């Protein structure tokens, strides 16, 4: 990656002023004021007009890189759905650890192993990717009139896991009747999804290398309750609410059948575990100190966050629609924030907004067990007047990370956050928070007021990309940013689509000429720590040697266009613990 780059600046009337000074670029990308060319640590994965790898014909990717938002595995493998200029649609992967190249995974029309023999993809909806570059899909599997299904596999080895009309394990002879959720995938390849049998929804689980097994479903015994109590239905509704962590532990929201030991006061629960080893993690009716009104959980917002320790962050509803953010830390449930609580770090008198009934966004739990959440704030019971993002644990309470009015970047001292899009944020395993915001301040107008911002635990806020700025997507090819898109509300830990891993953030940019592309932002503290483990050691040396003699942006540490002895000297000089 280039550390020294020359930039060009435009003054307020857009006339060019060339700056001959070389500027040191940080790991994060940076943008300046309107009309400035971005000098950036972004890596271009693919951009409109690039040649299509893996297809013999002379095709290029279409003007708008369309398809699903890109997702990234824990070890940095990017998966993305793309279309060509002749409407050929497929899936490609890109290894961020080595800087590529883009590699074809599969195309619509490719065969899918498993009965019946005529199965093939007629659409591709990539969902998750594991550390072996196996992908999980919810797709249309062409069988005459078409059929919904779930598929999993590596390149040239795709197999149907379940599809409409197939016997549903645990419910034979009943069949899957469609309406399957996207399948979440652990780093080692364990898979979980929900689907319908008859009119009711259940959840299924496939451990890596094993057959499909029912996890929870209608009329099946309710684990952890006395015999005779059953599950009424899995409350997934096809919106991808079942996470799975590195140990294969899944978390499933269910409705219990009222009767026996279950009443209407406790008929909702979140289970956690694997087939045959499930326990109730959180249940309706559980008292939580500090929750409004009755102080008991009445409902769960049906998407929650899970980490590898089994800790969870959940947005809950108390009676009369008052909500709060709770976390399950070491199997102990506690409250972080509730409507009407004083909002730390905000203006005097501002509280987590209680007028709209839904001030919070989906919370995210980190590797370390800290819960991150965003919220509107207001003075007492009035309308929302501010926005913020917080993190904390039950024992420490929440502390502010970013809020409206904060300066967005040392390079833009007169520009501040005007508003935070509270639903568009992610938390990287290394602690960075990346979010979408509206800017205000000097030189800001409707053409340049949207930005992607990063909050680094050590370095604070910086701009990743900004509407109206120019980006050099390939050598000499400058395009003006018009918008951005990324997989939101993810932590890179729960088997669902993620835009972050320990080393990188992947996102899509659109440009004012209607072209677009996919880009990576390096999140590492030091450039020689290729795998993001906090050390420069033998693993990083092996990565550098694997791209020796190439122009890989991963190994080209001094930006001279080739990976050689100069880069090796840089790596050896940084050997040991990274100090940023």
Strand partners, 315: 325
Q: DSSP letters of 121-163?
A: BSS--EEEE-TTS-EEEEEEB-SSS--EEEEEEETTEEEEEEE
- Taking only the tens place, the pLDDT of each residue in 42-55 is 889 999 888 888 87
Residue 436 has pLDDT above 90, yes or no: yes
Of 386, 335, 396, residue with least CA distance to 363: 335
- Taking only the tens place, the pLDDT of each residue in 411-434 is 888 999 999 999 999 999 878 999
At residue 548, the pLDDT reads: 92
For residue 233 the two structure tokens come to 């239905």
Stretch 300-315: mean pLDDT:
93
Of 550, 492, 72, 545, residue with least CA distance to 244: 492
HSE of 203, CA atoms in CB hemisphere, 13 A: 35
* d(C-alpha 70, C-alpha 501), whole Å: 13
Residue 34 has pLDDT above 70, yes or no: no
pTM metric for this prediction = 0.86
Q: Which residue has the tokens 């005779």?
A: 228
Residue 401 has pLDDT above 90, yes or no: yes
- Taking only the tens place, the pLDDT of each residue in 191-240 is 999 988 878 889 999 998 889 999 999 999 999 999 999 999 998 765 56
- Taking only the tens place, the pLDDT of each residue in 331-385 is 999 999 998 899 999 998 899 986 655 789 999 999 999 999 999 998 866 677 8
* d(C-alpha 362, C-alpha 325), whole Å: 9
* Strands 126-129 vs 103-107: parallel, antiparallel or unpaired: unpaired
């Amino acid at each position: 990656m280039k550390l020294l780059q020359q930039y060009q600046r435009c003054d307020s009337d857009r006339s060019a002023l060339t700056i001959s000074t070389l500027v040191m670029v940080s790991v994060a990308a940076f943008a300046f004021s309107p009309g400035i060319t971005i000098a950036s640590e972004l890596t271009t994965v693919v951009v409109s007009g690039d040649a299509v790898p893996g297809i013999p014909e002379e095709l290029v990717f279409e003007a708008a890189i369309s398809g699903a938002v890109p997702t990234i595995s824990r070890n940095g493998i990017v998966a993305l759905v793309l279309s060509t200029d002749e409407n050929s649609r497929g899936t490609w992967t890109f290894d961020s650890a080595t800087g590529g190249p883009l590699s074809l995974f599969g195309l619509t029309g490719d065969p899918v192993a498993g009965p019946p023999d005529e199965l093939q993809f007629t659409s591709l909806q990539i969902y998750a990717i594991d550390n072996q570059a196996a992908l999980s899909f919810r797709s249309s599997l062409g069988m005459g009139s078409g059929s919904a299904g779930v598929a999993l596999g590596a390149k040239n080895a795709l197999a149907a896991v379940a599809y409409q009309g197939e016997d549903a394990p645990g419910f034979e002879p009943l069949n899957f009747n469609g309406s399957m959720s996207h399948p979440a995938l652990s780093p080692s390849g364990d898979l979980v999804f929900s689907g319908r049998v008859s009119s009711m929804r259940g959840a299924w689980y496939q451990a890596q290398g094993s057959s499909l097994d029912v996890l929870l479903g209608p009329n099946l015994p309710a684990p952890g309750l006395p015999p005779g109590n059953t599950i009424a239905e899995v409350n997934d509704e096809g919106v991808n609410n079942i996470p799975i962590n590195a140990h294969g532990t899944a978390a499933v929201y269910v409705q219990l059948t009222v009767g026996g030991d279950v009443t209407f006061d406790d008929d909702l629960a979140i289970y956690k575990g694997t087939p045959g080893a499930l326990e109730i993690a959180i249940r309706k009716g559980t008292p939580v100190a500090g929750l409004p009104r009755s102080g008991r959980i009445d409902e769960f917002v049906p998407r929650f966050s899970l980490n590898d320790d089994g800790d969870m962050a959940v947005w809950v509803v108390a009676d009369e629609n008052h909500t709060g953010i709770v976390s399950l830390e070491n199997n102990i449930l506690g409250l972080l924030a509730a409507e009407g609580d004083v909002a730390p770090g905000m203006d005097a008198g501002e509280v987590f907004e209680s007028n709209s009934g839904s001030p919070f966004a989906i919370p995210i739990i980190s590797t370390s067990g800290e819960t991150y959440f965003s919220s509107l704030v207001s003075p007492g019971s009035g309308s929302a007047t501010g926005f913020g993002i917080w993190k904390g644990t039950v024992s420490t309470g929440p502390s502010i990370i970013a809020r409206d009015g904060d300066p967005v970047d040392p390079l833009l001292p007169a520009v501040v956050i005007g508003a935070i899009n509270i639903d568009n944020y992610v938390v990287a395993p290394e602690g960075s928070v990346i979010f979408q915001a509206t800017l205000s301040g000097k030189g800001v107008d409707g053409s340049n007021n949207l930005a992607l911002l990063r909050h680094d635990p050590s370095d604070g806020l910086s701009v990743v990309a900004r509407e109206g700025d120019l980006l050099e997507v390939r050598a000499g090819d400058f395009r003006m940013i018009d918008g951005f898109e990324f997989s939101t509300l993810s932590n890179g830990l729960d088997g669902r689509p993620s835009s972050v891993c320990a080393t990188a953030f992947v996102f899509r940019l659109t440009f004012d000429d209607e072209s677009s592309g996919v880009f990576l932002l390096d999140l590492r503290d030091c450039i020689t720590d290729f795998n993001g483990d906090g050390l420069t050691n033998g693993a990083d040396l092996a990565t550098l040697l694997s791209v020796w003699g190439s122009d890989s942006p991963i190994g080209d540490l001094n930006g001279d266009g080739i990976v050689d002895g100069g880069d090796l000297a840089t790596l050896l000089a940084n050997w040991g613990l990274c100090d940023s």
